[in-house]
């Protein structure tokens, strides 16, 4: 935008396909490998579940391609052998046997088996990125002006993508969504725990060069849980506070004017009165906003989005819960599955549009442009974890100013100048804690946001190779 | 004042995160979320060719 270029249609479609594949892959991994163990007790699956009864349960609720008593017996045996070897691997560091685990043993075994199936599936889903993005993560083919995967607009490459998409989407439809509903049906009280107040989505998946009008997942903001009052969101209304963050004080600033001035002394962790985090505190019209799957689904639902509304209503009906229960940890985790299904289904139309273009000889993927001496611009997207905005100022053909506000900063950011907590901080209030030494319930709400704090830069001394850790305790 | 619980690091996420809560009467009454690493890519980008930006900034979030 800062350089004033319109990308070709194929580039737009390929970017949508890459982002769609990212949603499919990322949300499957989050549900099974980062979040499920907050709800699923592996020890119960291994020691208490009856494989035949598990098979009967799975036949009833799931359309998984694998199943049967022999399969579940084999999974259970594999896990037993693994645990008996003394190496818990991915199942270490958890609160097995905690009183807040409520699934029957057979549901635990079914979900654990699908955890292992999802591990295999995600490795295949990631190959969609290899086709048009060269690798996963950190795609190599995105360029200002289009995409560079010129040689991959061929029938065999597109067909390979299509088959991987089909396999992934079948898993989402037949395994992920049924598992989500089965697990959620035992945790309905989490429909009133872990909610926040305001929601914002920049939107994603432009289906023409008209943005934001053509975004398949729409742009909007919803304040005070008012589903009927969703409004268009405007980047001019974004500011960031640093009062409680380890930066030099400087008041609320729009990202065009934003500064990155880390405190020069050792950062002191002072949650009660002072600074306590490297995250800034983003605000929209001076209010904290949750971003991510729940925000996107609520904004779309509020607008009456056909596909999103149909799936949301069906999920609410199957669980027997009201729309108000969406404002919760349960709603956040359900919304992630809902949008995976809806976006995944939509990808087929993008693949078909790409095939149609290639058939008629349109293989354009890049529009040339000229670097301006001076300019400014912003880019707004919605990535799996939420709203992502980048703001740039160019002078003398170089970057003069760059700021970006990422999903986890919105969700996990600290208090602002007025002491108003960030969304996660708000969501945690009221969470029951049965045993302070085993705070499983807190992890449920924290994980429901799918935190990504990997944006830390590890500072390495080139002479000693020593990694300096910023100690905050 | 209730009991303070600190979870640091939080596992099964991307990155280094700390959460502190205050619990009273079996429920959380106050919470603090803390990112434990500095990003700083904005500073690295200053003075560079704008075409470098997409490849630099995606390192802060591969997903």
Residue A36 falls in which region: left (phi positive, over 0), alpha (psi -120 to 50) or beta: alpha
Contact A112, A40 (CB under 8 A): yes
Residue A139 lies in a domain: yes
Q: Chain A partners of B37 at a C-beta cutoff of 8 Å?
A: 278, 453, 455-458, 470
Residues 211-270 of A with CB under 8 A from B: 246, 258, 260, 262, 269
Using DSSP's 3-state secondary structure scheme, residue A318 falls into helix
ipTM value, please give it.
0.95
Interface residue of A7, A11, A21, A455 to substitute, partner B, most B CBs within 10 Å: A455
Asked if the Cβ–Cβ distance from A451 to B45 is below 8 Å, we say no
- For chain B, give the number of residues: 63
Q: Do B27 and A422 touch (CB under 8 A)?
A: no
What pLDDT is recorded for position A460?
A: 44
The answer, for A88 touching chain B at a CB cutoff of 8 Å, is no
pLDDT digits (tens, 9 = 90+) for B9-63: 888 888 789 999 999 999 999 999 999 888 889 999 999 999 999 888 887 764 5
> B63 contacts in A (CB within 8 Å)?
22, 26, 137, 383-385, 452
CA distance A68 to chain B (A): 30
User: Which chain A residue is nearest to residue B51, measuring alpha carbons?
Assistant: A144
Contact B35 A277 (CB under 8 A): yes
Cβ–Cβ gap A429/B40 under 8 Å: no
**CATH value at residue A347:** 1.10.645.10
Percent share of chain B, pLDDT over 90: 56
Are residues A175 and A310 in contact, defined by beta-carbon separation less than 8 angstroms? no
CA distance A217 to A382: 9
Regions of chain A with pLDDT less than 50: 456-462, 464-473
pLDDT of B15 reads: 79
Strand arrangement, sheet containing A398-405 = A374-383, A386-395, A398-405
CB A441 within 8 A of CB A434: yes
Distance from the A124 Cα atom to the nearest Cα atom in chain B, whole angstroms: 16
Give the E-state strand segments of A267-363 in sequence order.
Answer: 281-284
Which pLDDT score, from 0 to 100, does residue B1 have? 67
- Decide if A282 touches B, using CB distance below 8 A: no
**3-class SS of residue B18:** strand
CA distance A79 to A96: 15
Tell me how close the Cα of A192 comes to any Cα of chain B, in angstroms: 14
pLDDT at A455: 52
Q: Looking at the partner chain, which of A403, A432, A456 has a beta carbon nearest the beta carbon of B26?
A: A432
Q: Is residue A97 part of a domain?
A: yes
Q: Which of A402, A424, A432 sits opposite B45 (nearest CB)?
A: A402
Specify the pLDDT at position A1: 62
Per the domain annotation, does A54 fall within a domain? Answer: yes
Closest chain A residue to B38, measured at CA: A456
- CB proximity B1 to A under 8 Å: no
Q: Could you tell me if residue A2 is inside a domain?
A: no
Nearest to B10 among A271, A446, A454 (CB): A446
CA distances from A56 to A61, A64, A178 (A): 9, 12, 14
pTM above 0.90, yes or no: yes
By CB atoms closer than 10 A (0-12, 13-18, 19+), residue A55 is: buried
Contacts of A148 in chain B (CB under 8 A): none
Report yes or no: A390 and A33 within 8 Å, Cβ to Cβ: no
Query: Domain span at residue A92?
Result: 9-197+302-359
pLDDT, tens only, A133-171: 999 888 999 999 999 999 999 999 999 999 999 999 999
Count of domains in chain A? Answer: 1
Q: Are A389 and A235 in contact (CB under 8 A)?
A: yes
Note whether residue A57 is domain-resident.
yes
d(CA A336, CA A320): 19
| Residue of A144, A398, A454 with shortest CB distance to B14 | A454
pLDDT at A93: 79
Let me know if residue A215 belongs to a domain. Answer: no
Orientation angle between helical segments A105-125 and A177-184, nearest 10 degrees: 150
**Any domain includes A455:** no
- By Cβ distance, the residue of B13, B31, B39 closest to A457 is B39
In a domain, A422, yes or no: no
* Closest by Cα among A208, A206, A202, A384 to A300: A202
Indicate yes or no: CB of A452 within 8 angstroms of CB of B13. yes
Cβ contact, residue pair B61, A143, below 8 Å: no
Q: How far is B41 from chain A (nearest CA, A)?
A: 8
């Amino acid at each position: 935008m800062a350089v004033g270029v319109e990308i070709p249609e194929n580039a737009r479609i390929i970017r949508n396909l890459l982002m769609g594949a990212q949603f499919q892959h990322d949300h499957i991994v989050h549900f099974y490998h980062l979040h499920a163990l907050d709800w699923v007790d592996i020890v119960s699956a291994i020691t208490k579940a009856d494989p035949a009864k598990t098979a009967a349960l799975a036949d009833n609720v799931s359309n998984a391609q694998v199943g049967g008593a022999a399969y579940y017996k084999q999974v259970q045996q594999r896990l037993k052998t693994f645990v008996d070897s003394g190496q818990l691997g991915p199942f270490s560091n958890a609160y097995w046997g905690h009183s807040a685990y409520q699934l029957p043993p057979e549901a635990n075994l079914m979900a654990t088996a699908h955890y292992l199936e999802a591990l295999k599936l995600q490795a295949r889903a990631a190959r969609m990125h290899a086709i048009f993005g060269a690798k996963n993560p950190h795609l190599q083919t995105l360029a200002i002006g289009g995409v560079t995967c010129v040689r991959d607009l061929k029938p065999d490459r597109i067909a390979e993508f299509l088959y991987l998409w089909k396999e992934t989407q079948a898993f989402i439809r037949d395994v992920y969504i049924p598992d989500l509903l089965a697990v959620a049906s035992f945790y309905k009280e989490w429909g009133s725990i872990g909610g926040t107040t305001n929601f914002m989505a920049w939107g994603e998946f432009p289906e023409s060069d008209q943005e934001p009008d053509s975004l398949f997942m729409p742009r909007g903001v919803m304040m005070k849980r008012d589903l009927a009052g969703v409004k268009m969101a405007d980047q001019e209304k974004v500011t960031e506070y640093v009062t409680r963050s380890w930066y030099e004080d400087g008041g609320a600033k729009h990202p065009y004017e934003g500064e990155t001035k880390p405190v020069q002394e050792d950062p002191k962790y002072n949650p009660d009165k002072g600074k306590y985090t490297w995250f800034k505190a983003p605000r929209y019209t001076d209010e904290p906003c949750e971003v991510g799957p729940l925000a996107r689904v609520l904004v779309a639902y509020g607008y009456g989005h056909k596909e999103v509304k149909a799936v949301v209503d069906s999920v609410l009906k199957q669980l027997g819960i009201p729309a108000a229960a969406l404002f919760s940890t349960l709603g956040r985790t359900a919304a992630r599955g809902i949008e995976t299904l809806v976006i995944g289904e939509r990808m087929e139309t993008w693949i078909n549009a790409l095939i149609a273009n290639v058939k008629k000889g349109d293989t354009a993927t890049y529009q040339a442009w000229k670097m301006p001496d001076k300019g400014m611009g912003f880019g707004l997207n919605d990535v799996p974890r939420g709203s992502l905005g980048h703001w740039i100022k160019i002078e003398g053909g170089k970057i003069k100013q760059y700021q970006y506000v990422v999903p986890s900063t919105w969700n996990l950011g600290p208090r602002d100048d007025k002491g108003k907590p960030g969304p996660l901080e708000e969501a945690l209030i009221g969470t029951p804690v049965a045993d302070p030494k085993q705070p499983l319930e807190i992890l449920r709400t924290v994980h429901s946001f799918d935190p990504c704090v990997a944006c830390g830069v590890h500072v390495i001394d080139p002479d000693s190779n020593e990694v300096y850790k910023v100690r905050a305790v | 004042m209730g009991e303070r619980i600190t979870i640091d690091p939080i596992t099964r996420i991307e990155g280094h995160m700390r959460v502190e809560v205050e619990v009273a009467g079996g429920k959380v009454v106050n919470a603090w979320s803390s990112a434990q690493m500095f990003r700083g890519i904005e500073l690295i980008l200053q003075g560079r060719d704008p075409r470098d930006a997409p490849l630099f900034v995606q390192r802060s979030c591969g997903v």
